[in-house]
Amino acid sequence: MYKIGVDEAGRGPAIGPLVVCALCIPDSEIKILESIGAKDSKSMSPKKRESLSEKILLMAEEKKWPIGMIVCDASRIDRERSKTNLNILEIELFKEAIQSTGMAKNEGLIQADACDVNEKRFERRVKYALGEKWGHWRIDAKHRMDSEEVLVGAASILAKVCRDKEIRRINNLLDIDIGSGYPSDPKTKEAVKKLVDSELPNQFLRWSWATVKNAWNEVHDTQIPIRQELGDIRIQSSLNDW
């Protein structure tokens, strides 16, 4: 039997992507992850995460473990949130990551770190999103699954390291220190102020985030533009325009 562990990194930041990783392993090989010390990515230092990520990727290549990695950029997050909400978007991203493993014809158990206050609702929605092709797979979704199941912990490591690399790439492209991307980070707060000081908010910002909206309003004294499909941008009217 196979197992697929799924977790995300970057749900809350105001800058950068949300990353979802699905890691598929034969149940008989789970102990390999235990032997290299895989566990919840939040419980270790960045250096330790990167070291474990390299080990997991090497083992995945050697053992032919399928990996699905979905990097959802800020523009897609904003566009989807204008139509629905973050929980629904994450169900779609979990589905895409699971499908990317290419294991639909097999059978087994999908273990997912639930991104909804209602674990069973999250299970049902992911199962429905996957459809009949994945009918041979059971789904178990729980909060803090990444700290309880080593496979989900390993997926969380891969997702977090992937997001950290994206943050470093953005740092280099912008030539400023954006910090972690989380609104509570002082470096991120300062970066957001700089990144809204143009005709449009910077592409790497999540325009639909309150932190970004407030910063834009302070600089421009108007509502922030709205991202729409196909890269279109709608400028919101200000009360001052009337």
Per-residue pLDDT band at 235 (split at 50, 70, 90): low
| Same domain, yes or no: 16 and 90 | yes
pLDDT surpassing 70 at residue 240: no
Regarding whether 192 and 124 lie in a shared domain, the answer is no
pLDDT digits (tens, 9 = 90+) for 2-42: 999 999 999 999 999 999 999 999 999 999 999 988 877 78
Q: What is the pLDDT confidence band of residue 233, given thresholds at 50, 70 and 90? A: low
Per-residue model confidence (pLDDT) at position 43:
78
- Identify the domain boundary among 168, 193, 224: 168
15 vs 113: CA distance, rounded Å: 22
Q: What is the pLDDT of residue 230?
A: 53
In the beta sheet, which residues pair with residue 68? 22
Same domain flag for 140 and 212: no
Low-confidence winner among 62-66, 106-110, 215-219, 235-239 (lowest mean pLDDT):
235-239
Structural domain tally of the chain? 2
Report the distance separating Cα 52 and Cα 188, nearest Å: 27
Answer yes or no: is 242 within a domain.
Answer: no
With respect to residue 157, please indicate whether it lies within any of the assigned structural domains.
yes
pLDDT tens digits along 166-213:
999 999 999 999 999 999 999 999 999 999 999 999 999 999 999 999
Q: Which residue did the predictor score with more confidence, 128 or 242?
A: 128
CA-to-CA distance for 143 and 117, rounded, in angstroms?
8
Rounded CA-CA distance 97/113 in Å is 13
Please check whether residues 189 and 210 belong to one and the same domain: yes
Q: In this predicted model, what pLDDT tens digit does every residue of 38-63 receive, in sequence order?
A: 877 787 889 999 999 999 999 999 99
Other CB atoms within 10 A of residue 186 CB: 8
Torsion over CA of 54, 25, 13 and 88, rounded to 10 degrees?
160
**End residue of a domain, out of 111, 146, 168:** 168
